[in-house]
Structure 1
Amino acid sequence: MLTGFMDGLLCCLSSKSANVVVPAESSECVDGFEFVEVKPGRVLRVRHIIPDRPVVDEPTGQGGSFSSKRKITVYRNGQLYIENFGDRVRAAPKNCQNGGTELNSTVEVELTDCGNSVPSVSIPEAQSDSITAGKDGASLLEAGREAPAAGRTDPSQQPRKRRRKPKRTVVIDCERKISACKGTHADVALFFIHGVGGSLDIWTHQLDFFSKQGYEVIAADLAGHGASSEPQIAAAYTFYALAEDMRLIFKRYARKRNILIGHSYGVSFCTFLAHEYPEQVHKMVMINGGGPTALEPSLCSIFNLPSCVLHCLSPLLAWSFLKAGFARQGAKEKQLLKDNNAFNVSSFVLRAMMSGQYWPEGDEVYHAELTVPILLVHGMHDKFVPVEEDQRMAEILLMAFLKVLEDGSHMIMMECPDAVNTLLHEFFLWEPATPPATKKDSKARPETAKAQSDNASATCDPSKVRPATANHTAKTRRD
């Protein structure tokens, strides 16, 4: 603590940020890492692994076709009305139920802040379920709310003014083909994006596991994190600046089918990429990402303090992160933070990152427009992101699967790596069930057979011949 105080005092006197990372030069792959210069003087460290594998250009499975038909209407009284007209998902990942709304249903929500309260949601003729699993990913827990029965909706929740003047209407009508992504497929790439204070090292267990499974994996350090360069300007850490970095990394390494995996703040960048490249993003994973709300920096936050003050408080902030980020706080968790270079950023970067989280486009409508299958993973003991926020995300998204690990917290990929790897791998291999082709039945129905016997008897018995048939027969004889 005394060392942090002295460093902060020197920081105030010199008007410079401490622990400045020297910008790295663009170079070849060094020790399994690449340094990519996304902009002049802006260099990111990237870990890119292409494993040795038998090359299979095309997926062996046929996959399933999914019709995305959705109408999203925002009314001026603050209501979001979602109508689904597409096909129902006929299969879910192993040990995983559909955590979002069923298709051919209607969702109505209030456009309120998820951080303050959870708005009421009515889903007529539909029911949403979510799953809770332990470290083995096997136990189940229903976390969804049952839809109100028809005719029993509270009159106070009845839509009274929403149909008057719609503020905005979005219509989605597209067809998606979803197939299993195996490590032997050369057209599959996995992108891992960390959050504030992290680094690509927090994905060590996932990168090693999936590279051994034959997947091509890509993970990058955000600017000012890990071994990436640290620009000394606050504008370099806004959401749009960081999103542009991730977009350039995605364009550099993207394959035909890409899966995005984001954690915390990194989930927002995955959502941004899924909107920018809907044809290339095949699936997406959100780990403790929170609710579908637009980002806006908080005015009353400790991170608004001067950088030198934050540097003095860095030991306290690190202890608070350990307390809130892990379900258990012990020597093992402290070593995980140290080994994975988590929450090891300068006070200047931390302050700029928190104040730069401005993304007004990322609201409920923005997330509701996503048509990609999404797996939501949440740690039950997460103190940064309440489980209600991920439940709300599952209700807004078109095709979402919510999994809650009861033994994990915010840094769940480090606490429960085996469970997280299993869930992710099952999701990568999942594909909707293809509806069976309709076959013509050679056997006649009972009523058809009866009708045929009646027609036969009527033909044999002249007295039972229909008038029209009799007239037609008489006309034929005259001809």
Structure 2
Amino acid sequence: MLTSFIEGLLCCLASKSANVVVPVESSEAADGYEFVEVKPGRVLRVRHILPDRPVVEEPTQGGIVSCKRKITVYRSGQLFIENLGERASAELKTCQNGDTEPNSTVEVELTDGRNSSPPVSIPEARSESVAAGNNTATPETGASGEAPAAGQHEPSQPPRKRRRKPKRTLVIDCERRIASCKGTHSDVALFFIHGVGGSLDIWGSQLDFFSRLGYEVIAPDLAGHGASSAPHIAAAYTFYALAEDMRLIFKRYAKKRNILIGHSYGVSFCTFLAHEFPDQIHKMVMINGGGPTALEPSLCSIFNLPTCVLHCLSPLLAWSFLKAGFARQGSKEKQLLRENNAFNVSSFVLRAMMSGQYWPEGDEVYHAELTVPVLLVHGMHDKFVPVEEDQRMAEILLMAFLKVLEDGSHMVMLECPEAVNSLLHEFFLWEPITLPPPKKEPKTRPETAKAQTENTRSSSESAKVRPSSAKQT
């Protein structure tokens, strides 16, 4: 602690950062590491594992999912999502009386939402309270239709709802073919993107596991992290600068079908790539990514302090990260941090990363436009991201599967590597069930005139009663 304080004091006097991350000398391309210069003077370390596998052309059938959504945004901030099409959920296609309709919608009438938080609603069948607004009774008459007496006060009527015009309306109508992705498929690539303070080493268990299964894996180090270069300028660590780096890395290694796996801040870059390359992104995994909100740096944050002060507080920040990032704080967790090079960045990079998280486009509508299947993995003991945020994300996304691990926290891929690997592999092999086309019921052939005459004659004869004979009389 004293050494850190002295280094921070020297940092203030010299007006420069004490730590500068530079590419390490030991990493070579032969070890599976590559150094990619995305811009002049901006070099990123990338671990690229291309397994030795026989080229096997396997048919990829999969299933076709119809993605039809209508997203309406009102000026009050309310978001209204309508899931349309034949593959909408059963709740959206089934009315309350049991009848089924291809598209069930709700007529939305917004009240003044200044005193209430803007909710996000998924349309359901029309309820009785909504239909009750179509009654023929006028405000001048009571429930029985009679006017109130002169001495009686008219009962207070509820405030009339005011219809508001939507701010904008988006319609998504497309079809996606979703097939299983096996390690033997040569057109599949896995991209792993870490978050703030991490490095590609936090994916060590996942990279080894899936490379042994035959997958091609790509994991880059963000600028200033791991063994990538660390420019000493704050503009190099904004969201758009880092997203442009990931876009160039993706274009360099992308295959026909790509799966994005992001952790924490890296989830935002995965969402950005899914919008930039919708036809090449096959599936996506979000690990403790948080809710679908636009990014904006906090004004009252410890990371707004000067760099030298943050350097003095670096031991405290590391201890806080260990406390909040792991469910248990023991020697094993501390060793995991050291071995995986996590939270080992300079104070300048850390401050610039936290201050550069400005992404106003990444709001709820931006996430609702995604049509790619998404697996949400959340550690129950995560103190950085509450589980309610991932639940909110699961409601917004079109095809989302939320899995909560009870023994994990924010660094769940380090705490529960076997469970995370199993979840990811199961999701990679998942494909929707292709329902067979409905069988047409055979039409009954109408009876001929001759058959109808015979049936009528037989029925009339059976109805008649034979008269008694004269002998019987």
TM range (shorter): 0.7 to 0.9
What amino acid does structure 2 have at the position aligned with 1:188? V
Q: What is the Cα deviation at residue 55 of structure 1? A: 1.6
Structure 1 counterpart of 2:247: 247
What amino acid does structure 1 have at the position aligned with 2:365? V
Query: Matched residues in 2 for 1:65 and 1:160: separation?
Result: 41
Question: Is the contact made by 2:183 and 2:214 (CA closer than 8 Å) also made in structure 1?
Answer: yes
Deviations 1:273-292 (A, max 9, x none): 00000000000000000000
Q: Percent of pairs identical after alignment? A: 80
Structure 1 counterpart of 2:156: none
Deviations 1:360-384 (A, max 9, x none): 0000000000000000000000000
Secondary structure of the 1:395 match is helix
Query: Matched residues in 2 for 1:424 and 1:160: separation?
Result: 47
CA change 1:41–1:221 in 2 (3 A) is same
1:410 aligns with 2:410: yes
Structure 1 counterpart of 2:378: 378
Q: What is the Cα deviation at residue 460 of structure 1? A: 5.2
CA change 1:61–1:312 in 2 (3 A) is same
Deviations 1:208-238 (A, max 9, x none): 0000011000000000000000000000000
Deviations 1:220-271 (A, max 9, x none): 0000000000000000000000000000000000000000000000000000
Query: Matched residues in 2 for 1:159 and 1:340: separation?
Result: 60
1:73 aligns with 2:50: no
Q: What is the Cα deviation at residue 453 of structure 1? A: 4.2
Query: Matched residues in 1 for 2:35 and 2:231: separation?
Result: 15
Structure 2 counterpart of 1:146: none
Q: What is the Cα deviation at residue 438 of structure 1? A: 3.6
Secondary structure of the 1:360 match is coil
CA change 1:462–1:414 in 2 (3 A) is closer
Deviations 1:91-110 (A, max 9, x none): 9xxxxxxxxxxx966699x9
CA change 1:189–1:159 in 2 (3 A) is farther
1:33 aligns with 2:44: no
CA change 1:160–1:194 in 2 (3 A) is farther
Q: What is the Cα deviation at residue 455 of structure 1? A: 5.3
Deviations 1:128-161 (A, max 9, x none): xxxxxxxxxxxxxxxxxxxxx93368x9xx9945
Question: Is the contact made by 1:194 and 1:266 (CA closer than 8 Å) also made in structure 2?
Answer: yes
Secondary structure of the 1:67 match is strand
Query: Matched residues in 2 for 1:298 and 1:199: separation?
Result: 24
Q: TM-score by structure 1 length?
A: 0.81
Structure 1 counterpart of 2:127: 150
Structure 2 counterpart of 1:356: 356
Mapping of residues 116-265 of structure 1, within 5 Å: 120-125=119-124, 150-151=127-128, 160-161=161-162, 163-265=163-265
Question: Is the contact made by 2:80 and 2:120 (CA closer than 8 Å) also made in structure 1?
Answer: no
Q: What is the Cα deviation at residue 24 of structure 1? A: 6.9
Q: How many equivalent pairs are there?
A: 413
Structure 2 counterpart of 1:458: 452
What amino acid does structure 2 have at the position aligned with 1:373? P
Structure 2 counterpart of 1:271: 271
Question: Is the contact made by 1:183 and 1:215 (CA closer than 8 Å) also made in structure 2?
Answer: yes
Q: Which runs of 5+ in 2 are unaligned?
A: 91-101, 111-115, 134-158, 459-473
Q: TM-score by structure 2 length?
A: 0.82
CA change 1:351–1:433 in 2 (3 A) is same
Mapping of residues 385-400 of structure 1, within 5 Å: 385-400=385-400
Which of the two has higher C-alpha Rg?
A: 2
Deviations 1:158-178 (A, max 9, x none): 9945x5221111111111100
Question: Is the contact made by 1:23 and 1:41 (CA closer than 8 Å) also made in structure 2?
Answer: no
